Amino acid sequence: MLKPKKNITRKEIQRDPFLESVDQAQAHLEENRSLYLKAAIGLIIVLLGYNIMNEKSTQRKLDASAALGQALVALDRGDVSNAQFQLETVLNDFQGTTSSSVAGYYLGKIRYEMGDVTQAEQYLTEFFNDKPVDIMVSSAALMLSDIDAQGNDMNGAISYLDQGIKKSRDEHTSRMLELSKARLFLKQGNLEGARGIVDGLLANKDLSSEQKQAAEEIIGNIVG
């Protein structure tokens, strides 16, 4: 026989706390739907903007690299005038990129080889201060050192070589800079400093024949 139904009063109704929290959250979302929608749209806009900016930055770097490549091809072909024009375009149109800084290095190198030390120093100093490509820093240091030496600024010339040695990524380049420093010491009359450098270089068993010959020539000038 079925038991009679029990009349449940309001006080006896017990709600599951989890269900109550779900209901409250749902009500909150319904009441604030517009606010959350605006916040979500705002977040999407920010993310899209970031991605677009990132894509633009990437594309700009690619365009700069392509333009630099064309300039270097012209330079390799011996078309110096065209190469200079293209390098100046990269330098001016893509400021802040590695390609722009490298373009400055090549413009400085071209000017240096032409004997225009004023313009060469301007381009190379800017590149040297940026130091975007370590492999080119040593070459820039050598040219800037020579420019200072031509102006009888021996301290400045030696300083550039020291910085180049510090930044060198291989022994061959470092030793080349050290030989240049020894020659400057010799020119200054600092025979002891020059001898110390070449003696240190000659102590290396893997010294190239060319560098060994250069070191021995410096010693010949010291003792002769």
Confidence band for 54, pLDDT divided at 50, 70 and 90:
low
Asked if the domains at 53-132 and 134-224 fall in one CATH topology, the answer is yes
How far apart CA 181 and CA 128 sit, in angstroms, is 18
How far apart CA 180 and CA 150 sit, in angstroms, is 14
How far apart CA 113 and CA 111 sit, in angstroms, is 5
The pLDDT value recorded for residue 66 is 85
Percent of the chain beyond pLDDT 90?
A: 35
pLDDT at 65 over 60: yes
Judged by average pLDDT, the poorest of 38-42, 128-132, 175-179 is 38-42
CATH of 53-132, one of 1.25.40, 1.10.3470, 1.10.10, 1.10.490: 1.25.40
User: Which span out of 24-28, 42-46, 51-55, 176-180 was modeled with the highest average pLDDT?
Assistant: 176-180
CB 177 within 8 A of CB 144: no
The pLDDT value recorded for residue 179 is 92
pLDDT at 11 over 90: no
Domain boundaries, the chain: 53-132, 134-224
pLDDT in tens, 69-128: 888 888 888 899 998 999 999 999 988 888 888 899 999 999 999 999 999 999 999 998
pLDDT at 20 over 70: no
pLDDT at 47 over 70: no
The pLDDT value recorded for residue 133 is 73
**Class level of CATH domain 134-224:** mainly alpha
The pLDDT value recorded for residue 193 is 93
The pLDDT value recorded for residue 76 is 84
Higher pLDDT, 49 or 198: 198
pTM value?
A: 0.71
Judged by average pLDDT, the poorest of 1-15, 31-45, 207-221 is 1-15
pLDDT at 1 over 60: no
Higher pLDDT, 204 or 13: 204
Mean pLDDT for the chain? 78
Mean pLDDT to the nearest integer, 35-39: 50
pLDDT at 61 over 70: yes
How far apart CA 49 and CA 172 sit, in angstroms, is 47
Distances (CA, A) of 22 to 14, 29, 31, 166, 218: 15, 11, 14, 65, 87
